[in-house]
Amino acid sequence: MASLQDIKRRIGSTKKTRQITSAMQMVSTAKLSQIQRSTTGYHEYAYRIKAVVSHLIENHVLDNVDSSHLPMVDARPVKKTGLLVVTSDRGLVGSYNANIIKKTNALMKEKNLTPENTVILAIGGNGADFYKKRGFTIALEHRGLSDVPNFNEIRQVLKTVISLYEAEAFDALHLVYNHFINRLQSDQQTIQLLPLTKDVVEQAKIDEKKDGQEQTFETKSAYYSEPDSTAVLNVVLPQYIQSLVFEAVLDAKTAEHAASSTAMSSATDSADDLIRRLDLQYNRARQSQITTEITEITGGMVALE
């Protein structure tokens, strides 16, 4: 049986751990509230640009575009596949990273992807480290994302992603990230980003609602562009890709803060339970020691009589 001193030492150590996890929970909760307040407006912008591109597709604007002047719509044979994986840089976020890795591996299995025909583009250190150890080519590795990311932080990332596609480092690109549902739940999602075809845009469309009502946008039966469709698409389509990636990063970061808050809350509760058990163990051991001391004193008194 552990000595009273050992039990007391464990109680003190657990209380210090509880203070740390409780503080981390409060910090994560504050970050979650901050990012939710900061990103509300961007979701509206992202939805509207998705609607614009969807309307362009419906009106066959992409049908006659020369892919040599617009590489993002060039649907070439897929020899290598790029996976843009969004994870966290650190641990202490519960199953957040493990779920993303699991979803990415499931996508690889579905598409028969191997280290030989797959390129990893990692936002977050966990994903980069995991696949680097398993022999995958890491074409992009971005760490140190802010708690509330801004667009300038990933602008260069997006430029690199598009330039890698244009240089044929990969022939198709899929995005894997955590979609925030609520403080206790997130969902792992995959979206194909490149090449931009009608099927890809349709797959990326999200049925969004505002105040319980589905949002709709009035569209014309045809688009008139100046100077020409290619020039317009060269501006709109990169913005569309940027909006998808940046919105996913914001979504993933929100889910990360929620996962961290939940994990630290569970750790704090576990510490409370352990402290209660140790207190009970300490009291029982103390009572046993006192009983033993009383018995020894009584026995000594009897021996003296």
CA–centroid distance for 254 within its chain: 8
Q: Supply the pLDDT for residue 297.
A: 77
**The tokens of 203 are what?**
């797959």
Which stretches does DSSP call E strand in 197-300? 209-210, 213-214
Residue with the two structure tokens 């090449």: 195
Peptide bond into 195 cis (omega under 30): yes
Q: What is the pLDDT of residue 50?
A: 80
What φ, ψ does residue 123 adopt, rounded to 5°?
A: -105, 105
List the pLDDT tens digit at each of the 305 positions of the chain: 568 888 888 899 999 999 999 999 999 999 999 898 888 778 778 888 887 787 777 766 666 666 666 777 778 888 999 999 999 988 888 889 999 999 999 999 999 999 999 999 999 999 999 999 999 999 999 998 888 888 888 888 888 898 898 888 999 999 999 999 888 888 999 988 888 877 777 766 654 444 344 444 444 555 565 666 677 777 788 888 888 899 899 999 999 999 999 999 999 999 999 999 999 988 888 888 788 777 777 777 777 76
Q: Which domains does the chain possess?
A: 4-24+262-304 (1.10.287.80), 36-207+215-260 (3.40.1380.10)
Measure Cα distances from 232 to 36, 69, 238, 260 in Å: 32, 12, 11, 42
Helix or strand or coil: residue 186? strand
Report pLDDT for 257: 92
Q: Whole-angstrom Cα distance, residue 96 to residue 101?
A: 9
Q: How far is CA 213 from the centre of its chain?
A: 28
